[in-house]
Structure 1
Amino acid sequence: MWINRFWDGEAGLLGALMGVLTLPIELIYRVFIGIKNRGYDSGFIAAKDPSIPVVSVGNLAIGGTGKTPFSGWLVSSLNEAGFCPALITRGYGSDEVWLHRLWNPEVLVVVDPHRFRGVNLAIERNADVAVLDDAFQHRAVGRQLDIVLVAAEHGTRDTLLPRGRLRETFRSLARADAIVVTRKKATRGDAEKIVRWLSGFTSCVFAQVVFEPSGWVNLDGSLVSPPYGDDLLAVTSIAGPEIFRDMVTINTSSKVESFAFRDHHIFKESDIVAILKKSNGRPIIITEKDAVKLKKFSYMLPDTYVLRLCMAWESGRDDLVGIIRDRLKCATPSGLS
């Protein structure tokens, strides 16, 4: 997508022009974010503290870090440790809500744009720990732990919206308790370079994870063989369509064309018609996040393959589990897995 190339500084002359035009807006946004953060840091603006422990999982950037599967791992681990966790989300992007309920049906998912109210609703339903989704910038709710995900693919450009993909500068990571550097297409060496660079902003706990392909299923969730063909169409409504296209290319050794909708797009029947026209008989490849929205159109999309990803730890897992256990005062030494 052009916007990602623009944010990466790879959009050519038009991108350079847009960079100049959006600079004043970025500067205003920087001032606004700075004033808000100073208000919380000084205590002038007070956060509300719920009666149960809270863990925030968030980003600096607009999407593409793997926050949804990481949050899924966290609530699953808390559940296995004997807690009664609840995931609190503002509900933007119903695909994420559906995925969480699919992955962890025993875990309460509360959808409420008012995070503090959402936590209280979870407490009424017997939750004893709340995981706030995408809440690093939402400082109105107090928390015991701030975990921030940073994608190695995003690099180190410190430009804010709308001129860049960041909501805050990297300096804001000084208030994070743990940083998880994620990667999909980037190499492990790339991720390690990001860790070393970020360590200049904070001395918090660092961990690294990689999201790797783990198999293929159809829209009904049944295991299938990999797609057959030299020419495939990758259909997405995610923040990083190019990264997914490249992952499909690597894992199929096929030519892959990307057909990208905006992030969190809700598909309509007219979209399916457009997808079929674009595919022109080619196998269609989609993400798990898009599969939950496209499943109802499975009768129109018989030759569609879902590439599943799994999260694998590369470093820092024990340190991260340790700080989570410490902040939540978890008594069992092997509580989180």
Structure 2
Amino acid sequence: MRRPVADRFLERRWEPTSPFSRLVGAVLAPLSWLYAAAVRMRNAAYDRGTFATHSLGRPTVSIGNLTVGGTGKTPLASWFAQQLLAAGERPAILLRGYGGDEVLVHEHLVPSALVVVGADRIASAAHARARGATVLVLDDGFQHRRAQRDADVVLVSADGHQTVRMLPAGPWREPAESLRRATHIVVTRKRTPPQGAKQVAGDVSRLAPDAEVSIVHLAPDALVRWDTGERKRLELLIGARALVICAIGDPQAFVAQLQQLGARCAARTYPDHYAFSGDDVRQLVDDSTSADFAVCTLKDAVKLGPLWPPAAQPLWYLSQRVSIEHGAESLDGLVRRLAASAHN
């Protein structure tokens, strides 16, 4: 089963190069202007103190972005939780939990961290404190301004959309000027070369000169078999036929990563947070018989794995590592300050 027509429509209309997208963009532009005006009014109300903010009662770092999906919030939030655990803290990851997949990913990557799900971050923080959390990590917290935070880490994808249009004509939840609220900006890349990420870092530095800027490569690490945990070297993908399964915010970046690793890819993409059905799995298992590997992301594996038949072609996921290419001292320093604040 390929990506539904409605989802392909959304993807095409955000690309600025086709006549189709230009037409749809023109139709939706008035709604985007209204949305942008509402966002600016809301932000101004928080900036003036008209809207109240609330302390979460623990040192807090927010990991967020300006666009819809695909920047790497989940792996970065897990990375912060891992670093805080290594520093001797008991972190809690607070998230809204759209679709439930990010919850499962966090529990898989950081099993020793608390993971608290809820739309009300204030209530979630109280629950985390009651369970002994010493530091809080807000996954996708940039727009949740009611919750106070000690640091705002905003992710910008170097692989991102070309258009800068606001919702619904484009993927932007906030205008680029909102980056000035960030204390730290992390430029993430998957398929973009290092030089391209450096150019994006320079752009955001000029836009938000007070923010500390880092560059992170969400780098492929290994092929991991879901049911056994067996790991294989990425070199085995060279020339291999890969059935690529992904339901993430930026599926093209994932497919491109596998192609760069040498795989011959047949992609089956779905909307972000897609709930796979039994029929989906049966079709994917059937499609996988002509492939050397059935490969997905960890975000997809936590949902597909329990449904995958043991007798079928094994399901593998591409594990990632957070490789800091620039600004490691900035992110490490933030972790140290959060840990120190937990005991003041």
What range describes the TM-score normalised by the shorter chain of this pair?
over 0.9
Q: Work out whether residues 216 and 305 of structure 1, in 8 Å CA contact, stay in contact via their aligned partners in 2.
A: yes
Structure 1 partner of 2:4: none
1:180-217 per-residue CA deviation (whole Å, 9 max, x = no partner) reads: 00000001111111111111221210101101111112
Residue of structure 1 in register with 2:215 after alignment: 208
2:279 to 259, 270, 279: 270
**8 Å Cα contact 1:89-1:113 kept in structure 2:** yes
Residue 96 of structure 1 deviates from its aligned partner by: 1.1
Give the TM-score taking structure 1 as reference length: 0.92
2:89 maps to amino acid = F
Give the distance between the partners of 2:168 and 2:266, measured in 1 at CA. 27
1:72, CA displacement in angstroms?
A: 0.8
The whole-number CA distance in structure 1 between the counterparts of 2:240 and 2:129 is: 52
Shift of 1:320: 2.4
1:92-103 → structure 2 map (5 Å cutoff): 92-103=98-109
Structure 1 residues 237, 155: CA separation in 2 closer, same or farther (over 3 Å shift)?
closer
1:155–1:194 contact (8 Å) kept in structure 2 = no
How far is the alpha carbon of 1:95 from its aligned partner?
1.4
Q: 1:331 to 1:277 in 2, by over 3 A?
A: closer
Q: 8 Å contact 2:106–2:115 — kept in the other structure?
A: yes
Question: CA separation of 1:128/1:227 partners in 2, compared to 1, >3 Å: closer, same or farther?
Answer: same
Preserved CA contact (<8 Å) 2:295 2:316: yes
The reply on whether 1:290 has 2:300 as its aligned counterpart is yes
The change in CA–CA distance for 1:57 and 1:113 in structure 2 (over 3 A counts) is same
TM-score by length of 2: 0.90
In the alignment, structure 1 residue 66 sits paired with structure 2 residue 66: no
The Cα of 1:5 is off from its aligned counterpart by 4.2
Q: Does 1:232 align with 2:236?
A: no
Query: What's the CA shift string for 1:264-322, capped at 9, x where partnerless?
Result: 11111111123234445223221111111111123264243221111111010102222
Distance in 1 (alpha carbons) for counterparts of 2:119 and 2:269: 27
Distance (whole Å) between structure 1 residues aligned to residue 263 and residue 334 of structure 2:
43
- Answer yes or no: is the 8 Å Cα contact 1:59–1:150 preserved in 2: yes
- Cross-structure match for 2:319: 308
2:234 is equivalent to residue 223 of structure 1: no
Aligned equivalents of 1:130, 1:37: Cα separation in 2: 23
Structure 2 unpaired stretches of 5+: 1-7
Cα deviations across residues 109-140 of structure 1 (Å, max 9, x unaligned)? 11111110000000011111111110101101
Match of 2:3 in 1: none
- Residue 40 of structure 1 deviates from its aligned partner by 0.0
Distance 1:8 1:321, change over 3 A: farther
Q: Kindly tell me: are residues 192 and 229 of structure 1, through their superposed partners in 2, closer, same or farther at Cα, counting changes over 3 Å?
A: closer
Sort the Cα spacing of 1:327 and 1:218 in 2 relative to 1 into closer, same or farther, 3 A.
closer
Counterpart among 120, 132, 137 of residue 131 in structure 1: 137
Q: Is the 8 Å Cα contact of residues 8 and 154 (structure 1) preserved in structure 2? A: no
Partner residue, 1:197: 203
Partner-residue secondary structure (3-state), 1:16: helix
Q: Secondary structure at the match of 1:312?
A: strand
**1:161 matched residue in structure 2:** 167
Q: Is the 8 A contact 1:145 1:177 kept in 2?
A: yes
* Residues 1:224 and 1:192: Cα distance change in structure 2 (over 3 Å): closer
| Aligned 8 A contact 2:65 2:154 in 1 | yes
Q: Which runs of 5+ in 1 are unaligned?
A: 333-337
**Partner of 1:120: helix, strand, or coil?**
helix
AA partner of residue 150 (structure 2): Q
Q: Which amino acid aligns with 1:247?
A: Q
Q: What aligned pairs does 1:1-337 form with structure 2 within 5 A after superposition?
A: 1-10=8-17, 12-154=18-160, 157-203=163-209, 204-220=211-227, 221-224=229-232, 226=236, 230-251=240-261, 253-279=262-288, 281-282=290-291, 283-299=293-309, 301-326=312-337, 329-330=340-341
CA offset digits 1:32-83 (Å, max 9, x no partner): 1011001000000011112212111101111111111111110111111122
Identify the range of structure 1 (215-224 vs 68-77) with the bigger mean alpha-carbon deviation.
Answer: 215-224
2-structure distance, mates of 1:201, 1:156: 17
Per the alignment, do residues 232 and 327 of structure 1 end up closer, same or farther by CA in structure 2, a change over 3 Å counting? closer
The answer as to whether partners of 1:50 and 1:119 remain within 8 angstroms in 2 is yes
| SS in structure 2 of the partner of residue 200 of structure 1 | helix
| Root mean square deviation, CA, Å | 2.0
